Amino acid sequence: MRTMRTIRTMRTPPTPPTPPTLPTLPTLPTLPTLPTLPTLADDILDKLTTELAKFPGVETKNDQYLALAFAVRDRLLRRWAESAKTILTKQKRTVVYLSAEYLIGPQLGANLLTLGLEVEARAAAKTLGSTLEELVEAEEEPGLGNGGLGRLAACYMDSLATLDLPAVGHGLRYEFGIFDQDIRDGWQVERTDRWLRSGNPWEIRRYEIRHTVGFGGHTEHTAEGVRWIPERFVEGVPYDTPVAGYGTQTTNFLRLWSAIASEELDLDAFQLGDYWRAVDAKIRSENLTKVLYPNDSSPAGKQLRLEQQYFFVSCALQDCIRLLLLGGMTVRQLGDILAIQLNDTHPTLAIPELMRLLMDIHGLGWDEAWKITRQAFAYTNHTLLPEALETWPLPLVERLLPRHLELIFEINRRFLDEVRARFPGDDARLARMSLIGEGGTKQVRMANLATVASHHINGVAALHSRLLRETVLRDFAEMWPERFTNVTNGVTPRRFVALANPKLGELITSAIGDGWQRDLDRLTGLEKFANDAGFQAKWRAVKLANKTTLANHLGAGSFEPSALLDAQCKRIHEYKRQHLNLLHAIALWQRIGNGEDIGAPRTFVFAGKAAPAYWMAKLIIRLAAGIGERLAADPITRDQLRVLFVPDFSVKVAQRIYPAADLSEQISTAGLEASGTGNMKFMLNGALTIGTLDGANVEIRDAVGADHFFLFGLTAEQVIAEKRDGYHPGRYIHGELANALDLVASGAFSRGDKAMFEPLVTDLRNRDPFLVCADFEAYAAAQRAVVELWKSPKQWLASSIINVARSGRFSSDRSIAEYAKQIWNVAPLR
Ligand code: NBG
């Protein structure tokens, strides 16, 4: 019978969604006192049977991991129920975080830490004949993001819960996340990330919730209002992942939307025997959330990407309204109750979508709808790279979202009137500020749209926010200076110190007590130990142990743990200048060859993914691999110098590298890295930074003091001036740099193949758009200063301790507290 209901003919045009009539929330009963939970060990055995249908003795490691995860999830859900009820009944202003990416990392270890269950879990694992580490290792991490932006969203979810702020994160449940990276013959090879293949115990599918999202079609303007008649519909269903606060009961959730077909089968086609056509629409719908676009800082410009963006924001907003009405409120209160944050421009279609829902579905007029929209939205910009500013071709938007384009035009018309009134006769300004870009195919400029509708616009580090006001959004900042602000990024110390580096965590606690995990400024208490010989010895032992663990993990003989571990881990991009680092490694190699003393043995660790279509980035990976191979084969230098490329950088891999690093490479061309967050993670784990005055490096250096930071390179202003004056790298290519480039060109790192790196060398010699050559000499000098300090371990250790002691500012708790106060106007639940 069920099939009869779901197999409906596709002939009749689908009906657009009707205004929802939703029940209001009944008075909620107090939650029953739940029976006391069994011990974790007993519970795991129970879960093996009841969730996994396995009896002890035949289960796999994955079964054990799943059983433990289910038991932990039960405990999380108990907290969650209380929080959800509080949010719903208190009608408090709530944060709605909209992000196309969340790189949350593996959940088991983090949740055990939050719930304080590590000791119990360790004992429980033992009863199964496993170690806790093995079970933690069995988890596939959800790679639902590309890099910094997605990881930031995950840190923010953690801090929101920890600060007791009511929040929901909305995003996409990609079936395949960021690709897995293999290195074969030195080249990056991408493999599909099948993170769901062994089950995902953390998510809860909500069967009762489902929202309809339309695409295509046309609009009808009548006396009663506007009707959008979409050509096809997709249904969005949510999967929730609980996010528990550390040291509090507050538990928020991440709601990720998955697309399913609104019609199961095309019965007409089916009856004609065309089975494939019958399922075609279903497959097409479900493709929507199949895969994450693996681009970092550059738009994909693809229809499916636009569909993904619209799909998730439409689901999110429909869901927000559903909850609002369920809580006994009306859509008129939306702007008071919800603080909606746009994590970059990817969710910007939420703006016209909210206007559409308020006007076309709920019957509000323009002015009222616009006021609510302006009250709700705020926008974070994450990049100034011109190629990364999202624009969508007008014809595409028109075809896919005709009603939204009308609304965008109307927003633009009213906005440009305002500009005209403020700056009469300034047509150039008008053209720059328009939401529609002219020239070639017209486009919708998403950053402009996000800015016009938002009550606050922020960059992610002081320098970046300033440059944003002075360059990309200058006209807007002139018009509305009060809307622009800065919130410097932060990272969660729970995952990136307490969990990733338990030895350091314990040492810190032994010195300053507990509490730093929730109040990172307390780390200043470490300052007084900076020169304490006993404390330094322990500090050093922790670092050495972490390096040994990493070396063992990378394979026997990968590197000698006493060597200086110099790490650059982040997406591979020319502006991040991994090639500057590599050229310097070559220079060191040559020095050893020339009989010079490089001061200390060193291991360079590189890790990071290149966008599959970014050829130059892939070539840089190949160069790292080539240098690594050549150096490892050189009997004279191999004990002094190593270059390692660690494949498949992910949250899991990152958690292994940060605790082991001595030196953190943050060497982007000044003005181009919006903030960086890896820089903070390294600092929190006691690495010293070598870096340019870029992104949050500036603030890291301010916090730690110039003596504890290796600064080099042109400033953002100097970079601009160089370019303006007709930069030519030739001026800077001499000495070690010239030799290093010659060596690369000679095939020394490509088994004699001169052609392989030719594009890279030619580009550096002739264009060098990221000023690698201009900064090389200053970089090499800063690297000499690094070695000088390394040679006096007491000073190095003091600097390392001071770096950690002064890192409190880079907690994501500080960032979230700033958003809460300056931008969202939200208050803690407790
Ligand atoms: C990235 C920046 C980083 C920054 C993160 C998080 C994008 C578009 N931007 O510098 O490149 O740390 O965002 O803000 O991914």
Q: Which residues contact 702 (CB under 8 A, 6 or more apart)?
A: none
How many angstroms is it from 813 CA to the middle of ligand 1? 18
**Residue 676, φ and ψ in degrees, nearest 5:** 90, 145
Quick one: which atom of ligand 1 is closest to the CA of 695?
Answer: 10
Considering only CA atoms, which residue is closest to atom 8 of ligand 1? 297
- pLDDT of 16 reads 45
Instruction: Report the 10 Å Cβ neighbour count for 238.
Output: 24
Quick one: which atom of ligand 1 is closest to the CA of 151?
Answer: 6
- pLDDT of 671 reads 97
For residue 675 and ligand 1, the question of a CB distance below 6 A is answered with: yes
For residue 383 and ligand 1, the question of a CB distance below 6 A is answered with: yes
pLDDT digits (tens, 9 = 90+) for 64-123: 999 999 999 999 998 888 888 777 777 789 999 999 999 999 999 999 999 999 999 999
Active site residue 570: yes
For residue 677 and ligand 1, the question of a CB distance below 6 A is answered with: yes
- pLDDT of 12 reads 43
How many angstroms is it from 785 CA to the middle of ligand 1? 29
Indicate the Cα dihedral angle 269, 270, 273, 278, nearest 10°: 70
For residue 608 and ligand 1, the question of a CB distance below 6 A is answered with: no
- The C-alpha atoms of residue 438 and residue 139 are separated, in whole angstroms, by 49
CA torsion through residues 621, 625, 626, 631, sign: positive
Considering only CA atoms, which residue is closest to atom 9 of ligand 1? 382
List, in sequence order, every residue forming a beta bridge with 122; answer none if it has no partner: none
Task: Please provide the distance, in angstroms rounded to a whole number, between the alpha carbons at the two ends of the chain.
Answer: 50
Q: Which of 211, 456, 576, 609 is catalytic?
A: 576
* Regions of the chain with pLDDT less than 70: 1-35, 264-267, 269-270, 278
**Residue 485, φ and ψ in degrees, nearest 5:** -150, 175
Considering only CA atoms, which residue is closest to atom 12 of ligand 1? 676
- The C-alpha atoms of residue 702 and residue 92 are separated, in whole angstroms, by 37
Q: Which residue has the tokens 């070598």?
A: 690
For residue 501 and ligand 1, the question of a CB distance below 6 A is answered with: no
Q: Which of 571, 579, 609, 652 is catalytic?
A: 571
Instruction: Report the 10 Å Cβ neighbour count for 35.
Output: 6
What does the DSSP 8-state code read for residue 42? H
pLDDT digits (tens, 9 = 90+) for 233-278: 999 999 999 999 999 999 999 999 999 988 765 667 667 777 777 6
From start to end of 69-217, where are the E strands?
A: 94-98, 167-172, 180-184, 187-191, 204-205, 211-215
Closest residue by Cα to residue 563 from 630, 673, 648, 660: 660
Pocket test residue of 101, 293, 297 for ligand 1, highest count of atoms within 8 A of CB: 297
How many angstroms is it from 642 CA to the middle of ligand 1? 29
Task: Collapse the DSSP code of 392 into the 3-class scheme (helix H, G, I; strand E, B; otherwise coil) and give the result.
Answer: strand
Active site residue 677: yes
For residue 815 and ligand 1, the question of a CB distance below 6 A is answered with: no
Q: Which residues contact 757 (CB under 8 A, 6 or more apart)?
A: 619, 622, 623, 626, 744, 745, 749, 750
Q: What angle do CA 508, 513, 515 make, to 5 degrees?
A: 95
How many angstroms is it from 367 CA to the middle of ligand 1? 35
How many angstroms is it from 382 CA to the middle of ligand 1? 5
Q: Which residues contact 244 (CB under 8 A, 6 or more apart)?
A: 76, 79, 80, 111, 114, 115, 161, 250, 251
For residue 673 and ligand 1, the question of a CB distance below 6 A is answered with: yes
What does the DSSP 8-state code read for residue 388? G
Quick one: which atom of ligand 1 is closest to the CA of 388?
Answer: 8
Predicted model pTM: 0.95
How many angstroms is it from 611 CA to the middle of ligand 1? 15
- The C-alpha atoms of residue 156 and residue 491 are separated, in whole angstroms, by 8
Q: Is 501 within 8 Å of 539 (Cβ atoms)?
A: no
Closest residue by Cα to residue 803 from 582, 499, 616, 539: 539
**Residue 250, φ and ψ in degrees, nearest 5:** -60, 130
CA torsion through residues 746, 603, 648, 254, sign: negative
Q: Is 105 within 8 Å of 154 (Cβ atoms)?
A: yes
What does the DSSP 8-state code read for residue 80? H
Q: Which residues contact 271 (CB under 8 A, 6 or more apart)?
A: none
For residue 695 and ligand 1, the question of a CB distance below 6 A is answered with: yes
How many angstroms is it from 294 CA to the middle of ligand 1? 14
- pLDDT of 33 reads 62
- The C-alpha atoms of residue 314 and residue 292 are separated, in whole angstroms, by 18
- The C-alpha atoms of residue 381 and residue 389 are separated, in whole angstroms, by 9
Q: Give the rounded distance of the alpha carbon of 813 from its chain centre.
A: 16
Q: Which of 47, 382, 547, 609 is catalytic?
A: 382
Task: Collapse the DSSP code of 47 into the 3-class scheme (helix H, G, I; strand E, B; otherwise coil) and give the result.
Answer: helix
Closest residue by Cα to residue 696 from 536, 534, 815, 572: 815
- The C-alpha atoms of residue 153 and residue 639 are separated, in whole angstroms, by 41
Give me 281's structure tokens. 């629409």
- The C-alpha atoms of residue 156 and residue 489 are separated, in whole angstroms, by 9
Closest residue by Cα to residue 345 from 67, 99, 590: 99
List, in sequence order, every residue forming a beta bridge with 774; answer none if it has no partner: none
Q: Which of 669, 677, 689, 692 is catalytic?
A: 677
Quick one: which atom of ligand 1 is closest to the CA of 674?
Answer: 10
How many angstroms is it from 695 CA to the middle of ligand 1? 10
- Long-range contacts of the stretch 464-473 (C-beta < 8 A, 24+): 464/381, 464/384, 464/674, 464/675, 464/695, 467/384, 467/671, 467/716, 468/381, 468/384, 471/384, 472/381, 472/384, 472/386, 472/389, 472/447, 473/381, 473/447
Q: Which of 79, 494, 543, 570 is catalytic?
A: 570
**Length of the chain (residues):** 830
Q: Which residues contact 343 (CB under 8 A, 6 or more apart)?
A: 97, 98, 99, 100, 101, 149, 152, 153, 380, 382
Active site residue 681: yes
